[in-house]
Structure 1
Amino acid sequence: MTATVTEPLTTADRCDRCGAQAYVRVTLNSGGELLFCGHHGKAHSAKLSQVALKIHDETSKLS
Structure 2
Amino acid sequence: MTGALAPTKPLSAADRCDRCGAQAYVRAVLVGGGDLLFCAHHGRKYSESLRASGADIHDETDRLKETPAAAQTDER
Fold agreement, TM-score > 0.5: yes
Query: Could you tell me which of 44, 55, 58 is aligned with 1:56?
Result: 58
Whole-angstrom CA distance in 2 between matches of 1:51 and 1:6 = 19
Which moves more between the two structures, 51-60 or 24-33? 51-60
Mapping 1:1-63, distance limit 5 Å = 4-63=6-65
Whichever of the two has the greater Rg, that structure is 2
Percent identity of paired positions between Structure 1 and Structure 2: 56
After TM superposition, the score normalised by the length of structure 1 is 0.85
AA in 2 matched with 1:51: S
Whole-angstrom CA distance in 1 between matches of 2:60 and 2:33 = 21
Whole-angstrom CA distance in 2 between matches of 1:46 and 1:53 = 10
AA in 1 matched with 2:60: E
Structure 2 counterpart SS, 1:46: helix
Whole-angstrom CA distance in 2 between matches of 1:32 and 1:54 = 11
Tell me which of the two structures has the higher relative contact order, counting C-alpha pairs closer than 8 angstroms and 6 or more residues apart: 1
Question: Which runs of no fewer than 5 residues in structure 1 stay unpaired?
Answer: none
Give aligned pairs, total.
63
User: CA RMSD for the aligned pairs?
Assistant: 2.0
